[in-house]
Amino acid sequence: MSFLKEISPLVKNYFQSGKDGLSRRAAQITAEIQQGERRNYNEVLDLSSGDLHRGGIKPITFVRQVLAACLYPALLEDDSLPLDVKQRAESLLRECDGGSVGSYTESSGIPKIKHCLSQFITRRDGGVPCSPDNIFIMSGSKTALRIMLKLLIRSEDSCQTGVLIPVPTYPTFTLMLEEEEAAIIPYHLCEEQGWTLQMEELHRALQAGRKICNPVALYICNPGNPTGHLQSRKSIEEVIRFAAEERLFILADEVYQSCVYGDDTEFYSYKKVLSEMDSTISSTVELASFNTASKGFMGEKCPPVVGQIALDLMADPPKPGDPSFPTFSEEVQSINNTIRKNTGRIQEVFAELPGISCHPLKAGLFVFPCLHFPPKAIKWAKKRQMEPDMLYCLHLLEETGLHVRPGCKYGQRKDSHHIRLFVGTQENIMEDALQRLKTFHMRFMKEFS
């Protein structure tokens, strides 16, 4: 099918009127296939979101066993459950009023689970103390971010409140800022140097922002979404000093901290680095950091009380010697190996394709390759009043059934174009997706070269 074929007005409207038209079109195509419409593919492959379980990654057995026993305590009498599963479930149920996950909890979370999380953070940061009083459990990191924005943004002030955000960044956060009527101050990550955060760019963005608003906060996403970059300790120290000098509140989104797989890379939390800096800085800089059970190896998305239990299991998993440890460690290692293999395979395929470049992946669950479109393709998109990478993703979906997201939804430098793919999926699904992408991309480049 020719790429110069006109898109129907109905399909075109999907992408001009809605913030997630690709998802709606993917769902529509799936429904059409189920109703018997014949296409040259049997199903839509969705690599557009960060959902491990949708990607075919199996839930962790220990996590689901404990959750099941907490939700249905009669299972505690079942001999098929390992002893440590029963003990953990019984311990958690004792912390719930009436021994039920249906009971109310303190607004900031169950005290025992907050204590467990504080120990987890202390271990993560090499012994730097963490107080349970500084932990607030919400129904997802987005909810926590929204609450922080409400606290920081002063809508009654004559001068609009501003927040510095990286470009690219995920669109949900940008939408939050718009809904809270905050001024968005973009600072561009340097793609040429592996999406690094450049201090001169932060200073430039802040100076530009102060001409139109009152900047109060700096949003950091580390590991990066969608870029998959990972900040060095030196970079984090520079950012903290910048925040101290400019009196900015740091919002450190660290939800992918357990997804670090690049060679010679290590995750450093903003809390750890801040606590180890000079007291004149560590005692004055304000920081809120975010983590979640829905990312990393668990991928669990749960309602509040069950979600708190999932956090407890994330923070205090089975240990060597526990009955569940062999299965747990094997499953976690399998997930990590799958992601490593997928990222390696992605790099191999991209290296073969003209018009695609991508930095080696270090962390996170997404790859964000740059697409170098021929001038004819740019003109083709401009004629249809659409961003080139959006039109690319639309045709990729229509022609091959592969659903990925365009870089224009995350912000990118002028005249640059990207797509975002999820890497947390089964290897056979990833291979299928890459072959679909390869076939489409080669045909696309030939058509427009």
- Residue-wise pLDDT for 298-349, tens only, equals 888 766 889 999 999 999 999 999 999 999 999 999 999 999 999 999 999 9
In CATH terms, the fold of domain 162-291 is: Aspartate Aminotransferase; domain 2 (3.40.640)
Crossing angle for the helix pair 233-246 and 199-209, to the nearest 10 degrees: 30
The C-alpha angle 152, 252, 246, rounded to 5 degrees, equals 60
**Considering the chain, what percentage of its residues have pLDDT values greater than 70?**
95
pLDDT over 90 (residue 9): no
pLDDT number for residue 1: 41
Q: How far apart are CA 253 and CA 221, in angstroms?
A: 5
Q: Where are the alpha helices (DSSP H) in 276-324?
A: 279-282, 304-315
| Main-chain dihedrals φ then ψ at residue 253, nearest 5 degrees | -85, 105
The predicted model scores a pTM of 0.89
pLDDT over 60 (residue 40): yes
Closest CA to 44 of 390, 433, 438, 424: 433
Residues 414-438 have a mean pLDDT of: 96
Residue type present at position 403 = H
Closest CA to 424 of 49, 32, 24, 173: 49
Choose which CATH entry (1.20.1300.10, 3.40.50.720, 3.65.10.10, 3.90.1150.10) describes domain 9-56+333-448: 3.90.1150.10
**Considering the chain, what percentage of its residues have pLDDT values greater than 90?**
85
pLDDT over 70 (residue 149): yes
Locate tokens 């109310």: which residue?
A: 104
Domain residues of the chain, as ranges?
9-56+333-448, 162-291
* DSSP reduced 3-state for 403: strand
Task: Give the confidence band of 6 by pLDDT, cuts at 50, 70, 90.
Answer: low
Average model confidence (pLDDT) for the chain?
Answer: 92
Q: How far apart are CA 373 and CA 265, in angstroms?
A: 32
Same fold, 9-56+333-448 and 162-291: no
Structure tokens at 44: 């839509």
pLDDT number for residue 18: 40
